[in-house]
Amino acid sequence: MAWSKCRSSFRSVLWLEQLLEDLRYSLRMVRRSPGFTTIVTLTLALGIGMTTAMFSVVNGVLMQRLPYPHADRLVWIAPAAPAYENAVSRADYLLWKNQSHSFEAFTAYGNEERSLVYQKKATTLQLASITGDFWNISGANPVLGRLFGEHERDAMVLSWALFQDRFGGDARVIEKTVTIDGRAFTVVGVLPRSFRFLFPPQRFAGDPIPDIEAYIPIPDGHEAPGDPIWETVETGPVPAWVQVVGRLRPDVSFPKARAEMQVTYDRVRQIPNVFSRWPEEKMRFILLTEKVTGAMRAALTLLFGAVGFVLLIAGANFANLLMARASTRQREIAMRSVLGASRSHLIRQFLAEGILLATLGGAAGLLIASWAIGVAKQIGAHAVPRLADVKIDIRILLFTLAVSFATGIMFGLAPVLGLRRRSMNETLKSGGGNSSAGAGQLRFRRSLVTIEFALSIVLLTGAGLLLKSFWHMNDFPPGFEPAKLLVANVNFGGQKYFRHWPKQDAYIQELFARVQHLPNVKAFGVHCGQLSQSLEMVGDVLHEHGNDAFTVRYASTGFFAAVGAPLIEGRWPTDEEWRGLKDLVVVNQTFARKYGGKSNILGKHIRGGVVNATVVGVVADFKDFQLDAPPEAQVYVAYPLAPGMITMRLFLRTESPKLLETTLPQLASGIDMDVPVRVQTLDQALAESITERRFNMYVFEVFSGSALLLALIGIYGVLSHMVKQRTREIGIRMALGAQRKAIMRMVVGQGMRIALSGMALGFVAALALTRLIASMLYEIRATDPMTFISVILILAFMAILACWQPAFRASKTDPVVALSEQ
């Protein structure tokens, strides 16, 4: 027994010494070939770096717990239909809270864009109104001052970003008074830099994820269940509806709490209310983590799979480079074998060299990952929740190390495939020339490049489909130029203007009077919101069984001139007609196509809701809210008919929108600084409406570009090595009369056979795998033939370019020199 332990210890020490010796030998080899080492390091850095960056995003967004106490017990509760998830009244929240026994904490919140005035300077901010146990559930602790209580009034807590940007980090702001939409609030505290509002925000489809900048309490009220929270002089700014989050008791299971909450939901749902009641019997009872990240889970998982293709291509190139280098060392390896080096010893040396090179690539990959994460934050911070907090930590370092070791082991052993005793003896006898093993290795290297091209086709096709989707989204009608449209978002949610049309109209008219004197303004108009309504045409029913959606939009006549949307037929109503509330409307092209029938829709009468008018014009479809919104039937009516208007958008058509981006807010604050005005170009607003899609596309484009680059390097390397190995053969061909063009055709043909076989394999794989990104596409099928054809043609052209240089070099071979070298 003792002898067995002693022998085992001796073997362990011997193995460790041999490993250290192999590593020292590998280090010497790496130092002797700086060019080779640099190429390998950069190749692996690209693959490992991209993989590390994508894993960092997946880890930070999907795998990390929310930074709240007992985050695994936080539940988001809402009506079943997505359209109603923001429509929970304060009274409903209180009934849920008081009648449920499964929760130890409950909170309700809402968020809006409001106007902040401090020291006579107005700015807009994203404001969260909270009640209940919000501070307890979020685990917030102030870095300055204190937090307000549940029933406290007119208090305000700042985020760290707002404290620094708007108040200059001055601690004396505590107990100072600020004005929000005309109501005074006292700043009582500042949250730390690390605090994040990660609750599902209230936003419309296409809106970016807002950064909550300040917090105020929702005051006590006495609405009936189902009623919105009416903003009054006494209440001040409050959200019309709230969302609800609760924390389960430790001894209550998720299914039990859901069953109990469903009973409470059903009981509250039966309370009659004429304003609003949820149509669905089931409720949504979801873990908060799943609600926050669930929408991005499928996309991020798919992108992580895509970056795996990039890593495989980089690994294949790594194996190709190692095998090319091993072929130049055949005589050295054969000599060491003859002198007593065992096969296992040679394998161990290749393995040590592969791991060392992969580790160098992983270290360089961390730099690429750090850069890529920074770029991803700039592109997708408002599209991907929690992306702003993604960073390289110990878990990421361990992941990078593991990937580097796995890559070194998996692909570093590729040169071992040709290590056969017979082939090494033949190498010594031939003086180090080519052998059957070398030919076998070359076939294997060609197979690796074939796989690289196949994987590249899959990624490039996916990128092409996403790119074509963006092209469809930005297919605007003639005359519609978003880059020349400045949009001012005006919020009438304050107590002075809320549901008070005479004051709202007075503000609009004063704004019109001031805007018309601005330089370079060619046209301007307002859009005052939209509602879905049931409409009917006299003699023809438009709305059947509640399935069709008809959007009624409230606008001024100047709105059409500002956006530049072309008139398809008919005429525009005059400003006098719409200001006088004449019964005239304009419909869009989709409405006319769907409901005009074979006859002309002009002159037909539409009625329903606030609409009771005759169609006088048809305008082309255009997008001014959301780029990826499908075309829908729309009716444009006079803006004074807008019921309960809260927000208004002023559109200005100008050749120099940048010059007016600072002038327009100052002009608006001169009318009333309590009215928040946010200005941006329509181009920017439309870009923000697809931040998630844009993030996915950019990431896919980077992955596919990296894959293409690596695949081209792979085929270039194989052909270069093949030309070098066949120098004598090429010299003989040329000595026997072969023309240079024939030599070039031979080399290019060999390279293109590799590329085309890979493209054929990739085409079949792409047909199956691109279906996985169908949900990311817009007005295009996952099997779009033009995209597939374009990708194949582009890749074939790039492959020809990669093959040309080795072919040109082969055609310049001197037969005399080639024959004398062998």
Q: Stretch 646-653: mean pLDDT, rounded?
A: 87
What pLDDT score does 635 carry? 92
What pLDDT score does 382 carry? 82
Please report which confidence band the pLDDT of residue 94 belongs to, taking 50, 70 and 90 as the band edges.
very high
Beta-bridge partner residues of 637: 554
Q: Stretch 565-586: mean pLDDT, rounded?
A: 86
Give the integer Cα–Cα distance in Å for 131 and 133: 7
Cβ neighbours around 647 below 10 Å, total = 15
Give the integer Cα–Cα distance in Å for 562 and 653: 5
Q: Stretch 543-547: mean pLDDT, rounded?
A: 46
Stated as kind and residue range, the H or E segment containing 800 is helix 785-811
Q: Stretch 296-311: mean pLDDT, rounded?
A: 92
What pLDDT score does 331 carry? 59
CA distances from 583 to 122, 608, 622, 785 (A): 39, 12, 24, 48
| pLDDT higher than threshold 50 for residue 544 | no
- How much of the chain is helix, strand and coil, in % rounded to 5? 55, 15, 30
Residues whose CB falls within 8 Å of the CB of residue 546, separated by 6 or more in sequence, listed in order? 534
Residue with tokens 């002089």: 233
**Which of the residue ranges 354-358, 553-557, 744-748 has the most confident prediction, judged by mean pLDDT?**
553-557
| pLDDT higher than threshold 50 for residue 328 | yes
What pLDDT score does 334 carry? 57
Q: Which one, of 111, 290, 76, lies nearest residue 207 by Cα? A: 111
Radius of gyration of the chain (CA): 34
| pLDDT higher than threshold 90 for residue 213 | yes
Structure tokens at 481: 């130029």
What pLDDT score does 208 carry? 78
Amino acid letter, 221: G
Residues 380/695, Cβ–Cβ less than 8 Å: yes
Q: In terms of DSSP H, where are the helices of 381-418?
A: 394-412
Residues whose CB falls within 8 Å of the CB of residue 556, separated by 6 or more in sequence, listed in order? 525, 526, 527, 575, 578, 638, 639
Residues 433/427, Cβ–Cβ less than 8 Å: yes
Beta-bridge partner residues of 485: 653
Q: Stretch 514-522: mean pLDDT, rounded?
A: 87
What pLDDT score does 820 carry? 63
Q: Which residues of 243-275 are buried (b: 16+ CB within 10 A; e: fewer)?
A: bbbbbbeeeeeeeebbebbeebbeebbeeeeee
Give the integer Cα–Cα distance in Å for 313 and 321: 12
| pLDDT higher than threshold 80 for residue 546 | no
Please report which confidence band the pLDDT of residue 607 belongs to, taking 50, 70 and 90 as the band edges.
confident
Residue, of 180 and 432, whose pLDDT is higher:
180
What pLDDT score does 750 carry? 85
Residues 491/645, Cβ–Cβ less than 8 Å: no
% of the chain residues with pLDDT over 90: 35
Structure tokens at 61: 């967004």
Structure tokens at 96: 């849920």
Q: In terms of DSSP H, where are the helices of 474-541?
A: 501-515
Residues whose CB falls within 8 Å of the CB of residue 343, separated by 6 or more in sequence, listed in order? 337, 419, 421
If you average pLDDT over every residue of the chain, what do you get? 83
Give the integer Cα–Cα distance in Å for 645 and 538: 28
272 phi and psi, to 5 degrees?
-70, 145
Q: Stretch 120-133: mean pLDDT, rounded?
A: 89
pLDDT in tens, 137-151: 999 999 999 999 988
What pLDDT score does 790 carry? 93
Stated as kind and residue range, the H or E segment containing 156 is strand 155-158
Residues 671/511, Cβ–Cβ less than 8 Å: yes
Rounded to a whole number, what is the largest CA-CA distance in the chain? 108
What pLDDT score does 421 carry? 46
Give the integer Cα–Cα distance in Å for 560 and 510: 20
pLDDT in tens, 243-302: 999 999 999 999 999 999 999 988 888 887 755 566 667 888 999 999 998 888 989 999
| Rama region for 725: left / alpha / beta (φ>0; ψ in -120 to 50; rest) | alpha
Residues whose CB falls within 8 Å of the CB of residue 578, separated by 6 or more in sequence, listed in order? 556, 557, 584, 638, 639, 640
pLDDT in tens, 418-461: 555 445 555 545 554 444 445 666 778 888 888 999 999 999 99
Q: Stretch 619-630: mean pLDDT, rounded?
A: 87
| pLDDT higher than threshold 70 for residue 12 | no
CA distances from 817 to 364, 712, 726 (A): 41, 30, 13
The SS3 call for residue 43 is helix
What global pTM score does this model have? 0.85
Q: Stretch 802-807: mean pLDDT, rounded?
A: 83
Q: Stretch 179-194: mean pLDDT, rounded?
A: 92
DSSP state of 780: S
Structure tokens at 400: 């990078």
| pLDDT higher than threshold 70 for residue 702 | yes
| pLDDT higher than threshold 90 for residue 371 | yes
Q: Count of alpha carbons within 13 Å of 806, Cβ hemisphere only?
A: 28
Helices 421-429 and 436-473: angle between axes, nearest 10 degrees: 110
What pLDDT score does 436 carry? 45
Residue, of 662 and 402, whose pLDDT is higher:
402
Give the integer Cα–Cα distance in Å for 463 and 468: 9
Q: Stretch 622-633: mean pLDDT, rounded?
A: 85
What pLDDT score does 604 carry? 87
What pLDDT score does 228 carry? 82
Give the integer Cα–Cα distance in Å for 104 and 502: 47
What pLDDT score does 75 carry? 96
